Structure 1
Amino acid sequence: MSRKTCAIILAGGQGKRMKSDLPKPMFKVLDMPMLDWVTRACEEAGVTDICVVTGFNNEVIEKHLDGRYHTVFQPERMGTGHAVMMALDWLGERGDSDVLILNGDAPFIDRDTILGAHALHSEKGNAVTVITSEIDDPTGYGRILRTADGISGIVEEKDATAEQKKIREINSGAYWFDTEKLIYALGEIKPNNSQGEYYLTDSVYVLISAGFRADAYISSNSDAVLGANDRKGLLLLNNTARFAIIDRLMDEGVEFTCTDGVAIGRDVKVGRGTVILQGVILRGNTVIGENCVIGPNCLVENCEVGDGTALNSVQAFDSVIEDNVKIGPFVQIRPGSRICTGVKIGDFVEVKNSVIGKNTAVSHLTYVGDSDVGSGVNFGCGTVTSNYDGEKKYRTVIGDDAFIGCNTNLVAPVRIGNGAYTGAGSTITKDVPDGALAVERGQEKIIEGYGARKLKGRIEKNRKG
């Protein structure tokens, strides 16, 4: 970019039809607030000097931004022009720049559109460049009135003639301005409308009337104009983003057998040859390797998954799952875990902050927490690592090739040696040497006839039933 640049993002909207106390720009599209989509687009385009105009429930946005950008407060919502006026002092310090105006609830503005519009803005020496889009049904949008050299204005639908309503090029609500000329225009616009509001679109007319040049840049991204005024619109945004990512991944060699319930975040990476089944949610910075099968019904967040791994009804968070692992169904992998190559984890297992070594089998109904497990270990059904004594958490260490019998309780801190064996039903509180067998059971006592007496009434009832 030839000149300094900055951006103002309008994020003061309440969104009454959302029926929520949350500011509209904070509603999420694919688990990320719409405002973050917009700020990210700015930063990807190299526009990092950003001012966010807050309004309704501004504390929520202030807390979310956490000082990353300058903010100004709009105490009354009196139109888009009024919102920009709140940043006049900030603009005054940037008079030698071009300023980008964006809406915080229009998440699909993109880097290429921002850069392309600014290139036109600079090349033509424009006072204002309106970012536009051509859509099949422009109903409800302001139409762009083009001339042989630029534009002559924007006409709203209610004011458009029948011929003007046929125009398919519409205003996205995003603009590049020469900052000094924007400051001039803001001083000239008046609230001469039924709403008594200051419209930013009026600044375009002010600049044209003053003899400055105005033009429009047609974005190739027709979704750049999309926003949400209610929950139905928000659903549309989510589906638009969702299918855009699915389409891209299919082009990259990822297979989808069904897209029902599939939601993949924009930062997720999926290797070719991987199959995504229904009900799969991939979030955050998740990376899925090649030739995996993910699903059905999985939630994976901020995880690294290796090649050839199969996850079935798994929830996994902030963990690493290596190559050729098979997990599920009904398994939770909690943060801080590493599941090494060749591991098999069966139904109703939870792993937390643990390393599970290569080719280990944790077949079913087991909890492994705060543990370091070697390779080739076999866990019997119902094993529990008792890692918490009510005050502190301790680690369990299990050596290579150990065999943990069914219903074993491993009371940490404890170490099970290489090739060691624990008898079913044991509660192990002391270290077990390599190759040893540990059995800890109470003495079995048999009382003849007790069951017959105790269960007599129940047995008779069952027989009658």
Structure 2
Amino acid sequence: MALGVVILAAGQGTRMKSALPKVLHPLAGRPMVFYSIEAARPLTSLPPVLVVGHGAEEVRQAVGEGVTYVEQREQLGTGHAVLQARPALEGLADEVLILYGDMPLLTTETLHRVVEARRETRATLALLTVVAEDPRGFGRVVRGADGNVLRIVEEADAKEEERAIRELNAGVYACDAAWLWDHLPQLPLRPKGEYYLTDLVEMAVGEGRRVVATATPDPTEVLGINTRVHLAEAEAAMRRRINRRWMKAGVTMIDPETTYVEADVVIGADTIIWPNTVLRGQTRIGSRCQIGPGAVIDNSIIGNDCRVFASVVEGAVMEDGSDVGPFSHLRPGAHLGAGAHVGNFGEVKNAILGPGVKMGHFSYVGDAEVGAGANIGAGTVTCNFDGRRKHRTVVGEEAFIGSGTMLVAPVRVGRRAVIGAGSVVTRDIPDGTLAYGVPARERGRVKEGEGDGP
């Protein structure tokens, strides 16, 4: 039996008070509609049908391929929105699953349960419900004396006794496709000028057809986002879900409540995340790392056995055993080789620090390549910008750069060269050469053992 999926994402979301379409507001680093698409995708061999409307082109650009787009040009209600999907699914699907693009916490397991409830009972329609004390504006599920579902009444239309009902309609439906396409055009026009999808329930019951409901035990799953307050609540729920998943996978979080991990981040086993840490984007962290406290890592690759202490790492690579911090910044293009060390108040940008390089403190290395085993003394600066263009600095393997050195690019310091403290290097220094001064001049050859690190 082929299942079609319709995801409603056409609403303007006026209560968000934003120019951005509601379903594109980010949640744990992804537009919220991505979660609805990903939750539904495993249930069907057909591309999910995404009904767009307000900001349709923005939604298309953000979501990209992998879904079928249909547009609801007039905002005439949820029933009218689903009807727009008919040309995309009729004749291809025997049943249709309908959900919203602003309910990002729904899981594949819950959606599957709704589909199975319809199949097992051979019902015309199955719906997802939730029992909650706070109705959050959801419609009420009205049942008869025999416990069967009779209708759904929207909160605005509910009588006082109906408002007291705590079984709420979550807005997820599984329907017989032929019956759905036949009855959507028959929905009554409501006083607000809209066609309500919820009226299908009463239509099916009136025809003597079976309607079943399955309840989710987790009210957070059906948290719909209509305001920034709802968005913050969903963010907190998603963060707890993500953190639990990683802790179950072998990651230690000292304080999960102050640890922010976005949905696409990957963390290796036996890594420890300390409080006030933010992991964003496509960040990949290896095993046995120490991250934080106070670390921000964005779209970066961190190897095994690394440490990031109270520092910002963005668009950077740290190979196995390297470390940074506290209070340092790896900017885009920074690459620390295995065992490289960047201490406190250092900044690296678009530069490679080879294996074992030591850059202890108060230094800036930008647009540079530093060879393995080199030492960058405190206060060293690569002067890479001449006011118009950027230039590169190359420091050879095992070179020793004294404290307070200015490397005026383009410039090359040779392998095992030693630069005296306070120098301004404006010309290339050959391998194994001792140089110092302002400007730095060659003063002799480096003797065996000079310039070696501790």
Secondary structure of residue in 2 paired with 1:247? helix
Of 356, 377, 380, the match for 1:383: 380
Where does structure 2 lack aligned partners over 5 or more consecutive residues? 441-454
Of 324, 327, 332, the match for 1:330: 327
- Note closer, same or farther for the CA distance 1:404–1:107 as it changes in structure 2 (3 Å cut): same
- Looking at structure 2, the residues matched to 417 and 126 of structure 1 have their Cα atoms a distance apart, in angstroms, of 79
- Note closer, same or farther for the CA distance 1:154–1:372 as it changes in structure 2 (3 Å cut): same
Q: Conserved in 2, the CA contact under 8 Å of 1:263 and 1:280?
A: yes
Instruction: Name the aligned partner's letter for residue 398 of structure 1.
Output: V
Task: Tell me whether 1:201 sits opposite 2:195 in the alignment.
Answer: no
The residue that corresponds to 2:34 in the other structure is 36
The residue that corresponds to 1:463 in the other structure is none
> What is the CA distance between 1:129 and its match in structure 2?
1.9
Aligned residues: 440
> What is the CA distance between 1:334 and its match in structure 2?
2.1
The residue that corresponds to 1:447 in the other structure is none
The residue that corresponds to 2:56 in the other structure is 58
Q: Conserved in 2, the CA contact under 8 Å of 1:346 and 1:362?
A: yes
- Looking at structure 2, the residues matched to 42 and 34 of structure 1 have their Cα atoms a distance apart, in angstroms, of 14
Which string of whole-angstrom CA distances, capped at 9 and with x for unpartnered residues, describes residues 408-455 of structure 1?
233444432221112233333443332212335159xxxxxxxxxxxx
- Note closer, same or farther for the CA distance 1:289–1:135 as it changes in structure 2 (3 Å cut): farther
Secondary structure of residue in 2 paired with 1:353? strand
The residue that corresponds to 1:410 in the other structure is 407
The residue that corresponds to 2:79 in the other structure is 81
Task: Tell me whether 1:265 sits opposite 2:268 in the alignment.
Answer: no
Instruction: Name the aligned partner's letter for residue 88 of structure 1.
Output: R
The residue that corresponds to 2:452 in the other structure is none
- Note closer, same or farther for the CA distance 1:336–1:126 as it changes in structure 2 (3 Å cut): farther
Secondary structure of residue in 2 paired with 1:100? strand
The residue that corresponds to 1:188 in the other structure is 186
> What RMSD over aligned residues (CA atoms) do the two structures have, in Å?
2.9
- Looking at structure 2, the residues matched to 80 and 124 of structure 1 have their Cα atoms a distance apart, in angstroms, of 26
> What is the CA distance between 1:80 and its match in structure 2?
1.0
The residue that corresponds to 2:253 in the other structure is 256
Task: Tell me whether 1:72 sits opposite 2:70 in the alignment.
Answer: yes
Which string of whole-angstrom CA distances, capped at 9 and with x for unpartnered residues, describes residues 20-55 of structure 1?
112111112112111111112222444551222222
Task: Tell me whether 1:276 sits opposite 2:273 in the alignment.
Answer: yes
- Looking at structure 2, the residues matched to 260 and 118 of structure 1 have their Cα atoms a distance apart, in angstroms, of 35
> What is the CA distance between 1:403 and its match in structure 2?
0.7
- Looking at structure 2, the residues matched to 442 and 349 of structure 1 have their Cα atoms a distance apart, in angstroms, of 24
- Looking at structure 2, the residues matched to 181 and 286 of structure 1 have their Cα atoms a distance apart, in angstroms, of 46
Which string of whole-angstrom CA distances, capped at 9 and with x for unpartnered residues, describes residues 66-103 of structure 1?
45533233233222112222333323353x43222111
Instruction: Name the aligned partner's letter for residue 34 of structure 1.
Output: M
- Note closer, same or farther for the CA distance 1:373–1:117 as it changes in structure 2 (3 Å cut): same
Secondary structure of residue in 2 paired with 1:363? strand
Instruction: Name the aligned partner's letter for residue 361 of structure 1.
Output: K
Task: Tell me whether 1:7 sits opposite 2:5 in the alignment.
Answer: yes
- Looking at structure 2, the residues matched to 408 and 325 of structure 1 have their Cα atoms a distance apart, in angstroms, of 24
Secondary structure of residue in 1 paired with 2:361? coil
Q: Conserved in 1, the CA contact under 8 Å of 2:128 and 2:214?
A: yes
- Looking at structure 2, the residues matched to 238 and 323 of structure 1 have their Cα atoms a distance apart, in angstroms, of 32
The residue that corresponds to 1:235 in the other structure is 232
The residue that corresponds to 1:401 in the other structure is 398
Which 10-residue stretch deviates more, 275-284 or 138-147? 138-147
- Looking at structure 2, the residues matched to 200 and 174 of structure 1 have their Cα atoms a distance apart, in angstroms, of 10
- Note closer, same or farther for the CA distance 1:26–1:442 as it changes in structure 2 (3 Å cut): closer
Which string of whole-angstrom CA distances, capped at 9 and with x for unpartnered residues, describes residues 279-298 of structure 1?
21111222323343322322
> What is the CA distance between 1:164 and its match in structure 2?
6.3
- Looking at structure 2, the residues matched to 6 and 264 of structure 1 have their Cα atoms a distance apart, in angstroms, of 32
Task: Tell me whether 1:426 sits opposite 2:423 in the alignment.
Answer: yes
Task: Tell me whether 1:355 sits opposite 2:355 in the alignment.
Answer: no
Q: Conserved in 1, the CA contact under 8 Å of 2:419 and 2:435?
A: yes
> What is the CA distance between 1:106 and its match in structure 2?
0.9
Q: TM-score, normalising length from structure 2? A: 0.86
Of 132, 155, 168, the match for 2:129: 132
Q: Conserved in 2, the CA contact under 8 Å of 1:113 and 1:220?
A: no
The residue that corresponds to 1:450 in the other structure is none
Which aligned pairs between 1:121-200 and structure 2 lie closer than 5 A? 121-135=118-132, 137-138=134-135, 140-145=137-142, 151-157=149-155, 168-192=166-190, 194-200=191-197
Of 422, 433, 436, the match for 1:436: 433
Which 10-residue stretch deviates more, 406-415 or 148-157? 148-157
- Looking at structure 2, the residues matched to 14 and 292 of structure 1 have their Cα atoms a distance apart, in angstroms, of 44
Secondary structure of residue in 2 paired with 1:115? helix
Instruction: Name the aligned partner's letter for residue 326 of structure 2.
Output: P
Instruction: Name the aligned partner's letter for residue 41 of structure 1.
Output: A
- Looking at structure 2, the residues matched to 48 and 416 of structure 1 have their Cα atoms a distance apart, in angstroms, of 60
- Note closer, same or farther for the CA distance 1:399–1:442 as it changes in structure 2 (3 Å cut): closer
Which string of whole-angstrom CA distances, capped at 9 and with x for unpartnered residues, describes residues 2-36 of structure 1?
x2233222112222222211211111211211111
Q: Conserved in 1, the CA contact under 8 Å of 2:425 and 2:438?
A: no
Secondary structure of residue in 1 paired with 2:186? coil
Q: Identity across aligned pairs (percent)?
A: 38
Secondary structure of residue in 2 paired with 1:20? coil
Q: TM-score, normalising length from structure 1? A: 0.84
The residue that corresponds to 2:447 in the other structure is none
- Note closer, same or farther for the CA distance 1:16–1:41 as it changes in structure 2 (3 Å cut): same
> What is the CA distance between 1:176 and its match in structure 2?
1.8
